[in-house]
């Protein structure tokens, strides 16, 4: 961080403009003029003809202008300061930026008034902005929260990633089946970004390596690539809280070195003339939606190397320009690898330092391992990245050599002290069990200064499982950094009504210090306060009910318990367990219609990877179950099931403030952390969850009485698997059996009674995710939820206590911990 003298100097130009604060109205007038000028001179229209989208663009451009001075100051600061962060991530799931930026610049009211004066509604035009969906789920959203938090804490940082032309697919539903539709966020332009057409790096691929003998020293390796793709920078300002600091999100777009082969074009081959260009530009065409298919894998590796190489070249160019001496790189930059997607950074930084800057191997290795850090986000074996050696050899021959050498230096001491073969196999970067693969997690681990997990449980499991032997070789390298969320987006902006109550009760300070939330505790038992709290929640539920009606045609009662399960659809996240509970509840309601059932709406939203057939079948099941339950008069609307299509950041912002119950029911040991769990608890939802990921830490904060924990622990899941019990359906309870039978009897799919047989069969032959094993505990816990709901005072108390006690999950806390323990930057 800069010294105060540095900061003062860097900010002096800005301070001059700050001294003459305009009055509120003149500020509104000025802003109105700015919007009109943008509308006329940049959008090229006038108020009489402007569409909502035109107004959005003009407003965004006017807002962006307000961040420019501070951006320039911050940049100056970033370059003069001791150290900055480079956050390398293949995903940034940003969502919309207008409200975020307005809110952080404290310009929301000003913009609202300015637009109102022009007859334009801010809340309407803000929905014109497409979500920047440059990510799949938790990992990408975490990167977006971290960017906002780093800017807010004035941690100098660059986010580095890919400017995908098409983000995550839009999800449509056709007869309850997921359809993937192309996403087109850039078609109408992106008012936030700046194309830096002068900031271009060459990224090489393929070819071969030549060994050049040198008379005066060791042979040098020279990579002769077959192909070069250009990386063009696009910068987006990331405005921190109160506009104090603005960081840069730098996304790379791929461009062919030669846009057109004129000879081919002139000879009439109009398609062939563009072939190289198409191939090069494919790199930044589309985000990978999770689990890759074989055919697409090569492109994914090209994406990973493309952005890693461009980002490192950019960092080295900046460092050389500002500081000269490469040995000092670790004092000026900390690189955080968001999962293994940028793990090639280990080999690429070595290549740049050794081959291109002619440092010795040992010097380069010291710099590399002092600069890089790696965050692991999953231990699921099928999600651990590994690349076939053959593919790596073809695409990145020099990197494969470097990786082999790194691996040799890493294994050689073990071989020398004749460590056992199993140990050597387990810590080797090359997996040779079936075919030969490069293990990217191992590569990142070996090349990193610190390696972190994202919750206490997950970090513990890293030490015990995937990285056990590496942890023993490099003790102390693994640290925990429990995830966090930015409260600016997930509380202040998504839930202005709750925020208003908080500022009224706790003062404006609560906006700056999440720790202040704890002072809400004293109001948890206050009847009058509870009523205000409930009214605010009710309004959010009315709003969600409107959205549900618009998008699904289903009418839901805002007085019912809103039970929310929103996240990617995956077997380990166990949406199936929740649907089965809905079926069992439906069954129970039908058998005892006279009972005093708690009215409940089960709300699902989430996307399945396009090639994940079972996840897509689960979506179909949710929709089939919903159709039957919602139209059955026998249960008198006391249970409703809805599947809201196209879950994204913006939809999350509408659902979260309206949730009463938060479903965090992953098989214990499988969800690294979760962050939706934090967002929902912060907004007053009670969690029903397993002892998994950050749920454990949420329980520690909110207290046992204010969370519903059920099911097996991670340890018990392990033991259950070991004993083979997951293959035994003998333990099924009658209630679970009945729910399964209803499904396999075609109750919900009369048009195709066998539709869900594969799901039922999987549960009975290999219940990997413990759906059957945890069902009874889940059912019983849901009935405890019903019981508490029937006591509005007790429920509201627990809800208020959730909001007040989860301040610790602010991403500001997480970033402070990274800064202190990993990056060595003082905040
Ligand atoms: C998992 C799997 C599981 C098996 C098949 C394919 C597949 C593909 C991707 C993933 C997850 C990738 C990494 C990820 O997004 N992890 C999430 O990171 C969040 C932020 O740290 C964390 O809160 C989530 O628990 C974790 O799943």
C-alpha 376/C-alpha 452 separation (Å) is 6
Distance (Å) of CA 600 to CA 171, 357, 426, 585: 25, 64, 49, 10
Active site residue 567: yes
Angstrom distance (rounded) from CA 653 to CA 683: 11
* Residue among 89, 93, 139 whose CB has most ligand 1 atoms within 8 A, to mutate: 139
Helix (H) or strand (E) holding 566: strand 561-566
pLDDT at residue number 18: 39
Rounded Cα distance between 447 and 187, Å, is 40
Greatest alpha-carbon pair distance for the chain in Å reads 94
Residue 679 known to be catalytic: yes
H-helix or E-strand containing 744? helix 734-744
Between the CA of 787 and the centroid of ligand 1 the distance, in Å, is 34
* Mean pLDDT split into 10-residue runs, the chain, 827 residues: 40 38 77 98 98 98 94 79 92 98 97 98 98 97 98 97 98 98 97 97 98 81 96 98 96 91 80 84 89 68 98 97 95 97 98 97 98 97 93 97 98 91 97 96 98 98 98 98 98 98 97 97 98 98 98 98 98 98 98 97 97 96 98 96 98 98 98 98 98 98 98 95 80 95 98 98 94 97 98 98 98 98 95
Q: Which residues contact 358 (CB under 8 A, 6 or more apart)?
A: none
pLDDT of residue 14: 34
333-338 vs 217-224, strand pairing mode: unpaired
Check if 484 has its Cβ closer than 6 Å to any atom of ligand 1. Answer: no
Query: DSSP string spanning 298-357?
Result: HHHHHHHHHHHHHHHHHHHHHHHHHH--GGGHHHHEEEEEESSTTTTHHHHHHHIIIIIS
Among 573, 616, 638, 755, the one annotated catalytic: 573
Distance CA 283, CA 257 (A): 13
The pTM score is 0.95
Q: Which fold has domain 81-95+131-483+816-823?
A: Rossmann fold (3.40.50)
CATH 3.40.50.2000 in the chain is located at 81-95+131-483+816-823, 487-809
pLDDT score for 291: 57
How many angstroms separate the CA atoms of 160 and 304, rounded? 12
Binding site membership of 810 for ligand 1 (Cβ less than 6 Å):
no
Least Cα distance to 63 among 110, 25, 32, 101 occurs for 101
Q: Does 495 contact ligand 1 (Cβ within 6 A)?
A: no
**Contact criterion met (CB below 8 Å) for 438 and 359:** no
What distance in Å separates the CA atoms of residue 802 and residue 518, rounded to the nearest whole number?
10
Query: Which residue has a Cα nearest atom 1 of ligand 1?
Result: 383
**Binding site membership of 667 for ligand 1 (Cβ less than 6 Å):** no
Query: Is 1.20.200.10 the CATH number for 487-809?
Result: no
**Residue 645 in contact with ligand 1 by CB distance below 6 A:** no
Please give the pLDDT value at position 647.
Answer: 98
């Amino acid at each position: 961080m800069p010294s105060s003298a540095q900061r003062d100097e860097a900010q002096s130009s800005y301070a001059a403009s700050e001294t003459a604060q305009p009055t509120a109205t003149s500020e509104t007038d000025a802003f109105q003029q700015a919007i009109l000028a943008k509308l006329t001179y940049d959008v090229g229209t006038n108020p009489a003809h402007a569409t909502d989208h035109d107004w959005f663009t003009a407003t965004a451009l006017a807002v962006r202008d307000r961040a420019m001075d501070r951006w320039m100051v911050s940049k100056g600061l970033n370059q003069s300061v001791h150290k900055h962060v480079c956050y390398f991530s293949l995903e940034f799931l940003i969502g919309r930026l207008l409200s975020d930026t307005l809110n952080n610049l404290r310009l929301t009211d000003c913009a609202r008034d300015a637009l109102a004066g022009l007859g334009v509604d801010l809340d309407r035009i803000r929905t014109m902005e497409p979500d920047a969906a440059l990510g799949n789920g938790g990992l990408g959203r975490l990167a977006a929260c971290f960017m906002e938090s780093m800017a807010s804490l004035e941690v100098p940082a660059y986010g580095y990633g890919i400017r995908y032309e098409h983000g995550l697919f839009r999800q449509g539903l056709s007869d309850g089946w997921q359809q993937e539709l192309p996403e087109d966020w850039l078609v109408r332009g992106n008012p936030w970004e700046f194309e830096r057409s002068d900031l271009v790096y060459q990224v090489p691929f393929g070819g071969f390596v030549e060994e050049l003998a040198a008379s005066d020293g060791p042979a040098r390796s020279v990579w002769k690539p077959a192909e070069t793709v250009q990386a063009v920078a696009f910068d987006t300002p990331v405005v921190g809280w109160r506009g104090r600091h603005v960081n840069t999100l730098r996304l790379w777009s791929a461009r062919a070195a030669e846009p057109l082969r004129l000879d081919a074009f002139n000879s009439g081959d109009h398609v062939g003339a563009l072939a190289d260009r198409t191939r090069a530009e494919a790199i930044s065409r589309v985000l990978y939606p999770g689990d890759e298919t074989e055919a697409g894998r090569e492109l994914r590796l090209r994406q990973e190397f493309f952005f890693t190489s461009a980002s490192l070249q950019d960092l080295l160019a900046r460092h050389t320009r500002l500081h000269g001496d490469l040995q000092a790189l670790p004092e000026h930059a900390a690189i955080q690898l968001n999962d293994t997607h940028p793990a090639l950074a280990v080999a690429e930084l070595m290549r740049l330092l050794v081959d291109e800057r002619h440092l010795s191997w040992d010097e380069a290795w010291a710099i590399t391992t002092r600069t890089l850090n790696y965050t692991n986000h999953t231990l699921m074996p099928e999600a651990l990245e590994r690349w076939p050696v053959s593919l790596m050899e073809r695409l990145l021959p020099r990197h494969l050599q470097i990786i082999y050498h790194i691996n040799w230096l890493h294994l050689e001491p073990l071989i020398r002290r004749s460590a056992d073969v199993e140990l050597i196999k387990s810590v080797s970067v090359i997996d040779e069990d079936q075919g030969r693969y490069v293990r990217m997690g191992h590569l990142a681990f070996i090349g990193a200064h610190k390696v972190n997990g994202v919750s206490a449980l997950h970090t513990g499991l890293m030490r015990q499982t995937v990285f056990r032997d590496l942890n023993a070789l490099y003790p102390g390298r693994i640290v925990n950094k429990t995830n966090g969320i930015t409260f600016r987006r997930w509380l202040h902006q998504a839930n202005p009504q709750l925020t208003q109550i908080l500022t009224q009760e706790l003062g404006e300070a609560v906006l700056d210090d999440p720790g202040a939330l704890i002072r809400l505790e004293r109001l948890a038992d206050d009847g009058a306060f509870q009523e205000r709290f409930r009214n605010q929640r009710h309004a959010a539920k009315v709003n969600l009910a409107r959205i549900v009606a618009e998008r699904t045609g289903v009418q839901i009662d805002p007085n019912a318990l809103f039970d929310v399960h929103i996240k990617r659809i995956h077997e380990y996240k166990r949406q199936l367990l929740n649907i089965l509970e809905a079926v069992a509840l439906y069954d129970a309601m039908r058998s005892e219609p006279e009972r005093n059932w708690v009215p409940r709406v089960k709300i699902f939203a989430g996307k399945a990877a396009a090639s994940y057939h079972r996840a897509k079948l689960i979506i179909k099941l949710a929709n089939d179950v919903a159709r039957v339950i919602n139209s059955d008069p026998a249960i008198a609307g006391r249970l409703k099931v809805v599947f809201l299509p196209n879950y994204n950041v913006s939809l999350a912002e509408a659902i979260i403030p309206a949730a009463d119950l938060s479903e965090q029911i992953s098989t214990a040991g499988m969800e690294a952390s979760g962050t939706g769990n934090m967002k929902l608890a912060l907004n007053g939802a009670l969690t029903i969850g397993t002892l998994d990921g950050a749920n454990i830490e949420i329980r520690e904060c909110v207290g046992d009485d204010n969370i519903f924990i059920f099911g097996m622990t991670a340890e018990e899941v392990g033991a259950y698997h070991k004993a083979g019990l997951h293959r035994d359906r003998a333990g099924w309870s009658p209630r679970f059996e009945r729910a399964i039978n209803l499904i396999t009897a075609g109750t919900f799919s009369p048009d195709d009674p066998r539709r869900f047989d594969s799901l039922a069969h999987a549960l009975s032959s290999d219940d990997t995710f413990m759906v059957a094993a945890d069902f009874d505990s889940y059912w019983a816990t849901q009935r405890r939820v019903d019981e508490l709901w029937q006591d509005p005072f007790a429920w509201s108390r627990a809800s208020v206590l959730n909001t007040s006690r989860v301040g610790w999950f602010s991403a500001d806390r997480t970033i402070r911990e990274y800064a202190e323990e990993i990056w060595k930057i003082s905040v």
